[in-house]
Amino acid sequence: MTLKLFNSLTRKKETFIPIEESKVRFYICGPTVYGYIHIGNARPFIVFDVLRSFFEYLKYDVTYVLNLTDIDDRIINRANQEGVDTSEIATKYARAFFEDIRALGVRPADIHPKATENVDTIIALIKNLLDKGFAYKAGSDVFFNVAKFDTYGKLSGKKLEDLRAGARVAVNESKNNPLDFVLWKSRKPGEPAWDSPWGSGRPGWHIECSAMSMKHLGHTFDIHAGGHDLIFPHHENEVAQSECATGEPFVRYWLHNGLLQIDGEKMSKSIGNILTVREVLKKFSGSVLRMFFLQKHYRSPIDLTEAGLQAAESASSRLKIFYDKLCALLDKNTLTDLKLSVLPEPFASLKAGLISAMADDLNTPTALSNLFEMVREANKLLSKEEHSVEELATLTLVRHEIEETDAFLGLISRDQTDLSSGLVSELVTFLIEIRQELRAKREWALADKIRDGLNERGIILEDGGKGTEWRLH
Ligand SMILES: [Zn+2]
């Protein structure tokens, strides 16, 4: 099976050829853990989880690395706001991140490196760049010298001259050139810091990903993925510093997902339309969100609307109801001797079409339309009053195909969030109201009974300034 992927580096759809036969070394930029991830952040984790799982379906041995940026200006700001340690913020939101992706049916990566646990590796990489003359010290900061990398801009397609014309040096920055970027930031009062040959400080964001990806996947690896917004400067800078340090190509295939809008508008703090994954999960289950994202090609922009989510919800329940009915019928009528071993038409063609759509740069919309066509055809057989042995055999094979497909799409078996379906959400909100009334009447024992009872059932209540919020364990 030939798998084609659109490579941002060459701007072409290319046949995927792994560096090592049957192996895929795959890195995806993870979150900066300073708050709950928003719904746009969820897209790369879902679509590249599907790609990773599809590689496994094709019998590749995949090493999947997803990092956590656990030291960053935003984490420090949040810690200062809340008057707590940065590690407390990072730990809390790293845990929340894993809860969220689990709810979305995303499997954990093989390796989840954290920046703060890899400072030695990062320092060694910066030292390498300084030794080779690609970086320079300015006070106790260290910067990458962009002018030293001839092909800077090759990933984003930006030209150095154009970038220079538009760039400005911020006041107080000590770098030589506005495009140079920081590798090591010197310590500022009240910030966490690590010792380095250049004085105490902390790593810049870009160098973390180069250090952690190469540590686990080698100097050159197969796939690096992330959101389209990371191409410049983050991924461009990763290419520059990695290739200067090793003298070897960094990544073979760069994959980027399109960005998400909400009701036609870019998600932004100024508009105030930032929606977290957990907010959406209160109304729609994780498998509905997966369906919503997979109904669009991963490279296209996607617009999140209530109507779009409802359409995904009805597709999701059609699939699940079909699967439940199919299993119920087959469990009642187990065939001891399966006569039919070849999937009959039209199922065979539909399945083949589904797989070749997946192999064509992860065309999940076409794959899903084939899947639903299989469901429609199988429903014709299912709805019969009586079933012949041949029909049962066909349905048994169809079930096998659906399950095999679901191993990479994750629309049925990976549903973790029935708890957050509409009715449950309403009931929990109702219980929270009753608990408030009990607390107002100082009936603490009964109020606590509600909280503890929900907790035992995997629902955590969090009392805060804006009232009581709830979330799943
Ligand atoms: Zn990154």
230: CATH = 3.40.50.620
For 351-382, how does the pLDDT look when each residue is reduced to its tens digit (9 = 90+)? Answer: 999 999 999 999 999 999 999 999 999 999 99
Average pLDDT over residues 199-213: 96
Amino acid at site 352:
A
For 238-278, how does the pLDDT look when each residue is reduced to its tens digit (9 = 90+)? Answer: 999 999 999 999 999 999 999 999 988 888 777 778 899 99
Query: From ligand 1's centre to the CA of 208, what distance in Å?
Result: 7
Q: What is the pLDDT of residue 425?
A: 74
Q: Are 365 and 296 in contact (CB under 8 A)?
A: yes
pLDDT exceeds cutoff 70 at 160: yes
Query: From ligand 1's centre to the CA of 374, what distance in Å?
Result: 39
In a domain, residue 274? The reply is no
Query: From ligand 1's centre to the CA of 326, what distance in Å?
Result: 43
Q: What is the pLDDT of residue 403?
A: 96
Q: What is the pLDDT of residue 252?
A: 98
In a domain, residue 311? The reply is no
pLDDT exceeds cutoff 60 at 162: yes
Indicate whether 334 and 208 sit together in one domain: no
**Radius of gyration of the CA atoms of the chain, in A:** 25
Range of the domain at 401: 318-409
Q: Are 276 and 38 in contact (CB under 8 A)?
A: yes
Which CATH number fits the domain that encloses residue 333? 1.20.120
Query: From ligand 1's centre to the CA of 148, what distance in Å?
Result: 22
Classify residue 42 by its DSSP letter.
H
For residues 183 and 206, give the distance between their C-alpha atoms in angstroms, rounded to a whole number: 7
Query: From ligand 1's centre to the CA of 221, what distance in Å?
Result: 14
Indicate whether 147 and 116 sit together in one domain: yes
Indicate whether 375 and 434 sit together in one domain: no
pLDDT exceeds cutoff 70 at 337: no
Here the tokens at position 441 are: 């009447």
For residues 211 and 117, give the distance between their C-alpha atoms in angstroms, rounded to a whole number: 11
Query: From ligand 1's centre to the CA of 441, what distance in Å?
Result: 51
Indicate the pLDDT class of residue 341, thresholds 50, 70 and 90. confident
In a domain, residue 299? The reply is no
Q: What is the pLDDT of residue 164?
A: 76
What are the residues whose beta carbon lies below 5 Å from ligand 1 (ion)?
A: 29, 209
Query: From ligand 1's centre to the CA of 28, what distance in Å?
Result: 7
Average pLDDT over residues 134-155: 94
Query: From ligand 1's centre to the CA of 38, what distance in Å?
Result: 17
For residues 279 and 275, give the distance between their C-alpha atoms in angstroms, rounded to a whole number: 6
Query: From ligand 1's centre to the CA of 447, what distance in Å?
Result: 45
For 71-93, how does the pLDDT look when each residue is reduced to its tens digit (9 = 90+)? Answer: 999 999 999 999 999 999 999 99
Query: From ligand 1's centre to the CA of 209, what distance in Å?
Result: 5
Indicate whether 37 and 183 sit together in one domain: yes
Query: From ligand 1's centre to the CA of 458, what distance in Å?
Result: 33
In a domain, residue 307? The reply is no
Query: From ligand 1's centre to the CA of 230, what distance in Å?
Result: 8
Query: From ligand 1's centre to the CA of 237, what distance in Å?
Result: 10
In a domain, residue 303? The reply is no
Q: Are 248 and 49 in contact (CB under 8 A)?
A: no
Indicate the pLDDT class of residue 197, thresholds 50, 70 and 90. very high
What is the percent of the chain with per-residue pLDDT over 90, rounded to a whole number? 76
Average pLDDT over residues 424-448: 90
Name 243's Cβ contacts closer than 8 Å, sequence gap at least 6. Answer: 149, 151, 249, 250
For residues 313 and 317, give the distance between their C-alpha atoms in angstroms, rounded to a whole number: 6
Q: Which of 74-83, 165-174, 319-328 has the lowest mean pLDDT?
A: 165-174
Indicate whether 428 and 390 sit together in one domain: no
Domain's final residue, options 377, 409, 441:
409
Q: What is the pLDDT of residue 423?
A: 66
Indicate whether 99 and 144 sit together in one domain: yes
Helix/strand/coil for 402: helix
Indicate the pLDDT class of residue 35, thresholds 50, 70 and 90. very high
In a domain, residue 306? The reply is no
For residues 224 and 26, give the distance between their C-alpha atoms in angstroms, rounded to a whole number: 6
Indicate whether 210 and 355 sit together in one domain: no
In a domain, residue 294? The reply is no
Q: What is the pLDDT of residue 270?
A: 79
Query: From ligand 1's centre to the CA of 213, what distance in Å?
Result: 9
In a domain, residue 284? The reply is no
Mean pLDDT, the chain, rounded, equals 91
Domain's final residue, options 364, 379, 409:
409
Our count of domains for the chain comes to 3
Q: Are 211 and 125 in contact (CB under 8 A)?
A: yes
Query: From ligand 1's centre to the CA of 114, what distance in Å?
Result: 11
Indicate whether 39 and 146 sit together in one domain: yes
The strand pair at 251-257 and 221-227 is best described as: parallel
Classify residue 411 by its DSSP letter.
S
Indicate whether 246 and 128 sit together in one domain: yes
Indicate whether 399 and 426 sit together in one domain: no
Query: From ligand 1's centre to the CA of 200, what distance in Å?
Result: 23
Query: From ligand 1's centre to the CA of 33, what distance in Å?
Result: 13
pLDDT exceeds cutoff 90 at 110: yes
For residues 158 and 177, give the distance between their C-alpha atoms in angstroms, rounded to a whole number: 16
Q: Are 225 and 123 in contact (CB under 8 A)?
A: no
Query: From ligand 1's centre to the CA of 257, what distance in Å?
Result: 14
Q: What is the pLDDT of residue 472?
A: 67
The residues pairing with 312 across neighbouring beta strands, listed in sequence order, are none
For residues 370 and 372, give the distance between their C-alpha atoms in angstroms, rounded to a whole number: 5
Indicate the pLDDT class of residue 208, thresholds 50, 70 and 90. very high
Indicate whether 446 and 396 sit together in one domain: no
Q: What is the pLDDT of residue 451?
A: 92
Beta strands in 166-237 (DSSP E): 181-186, 201-203, 221-227
Indicate whether 181 and 117 sit together in one domain: yes
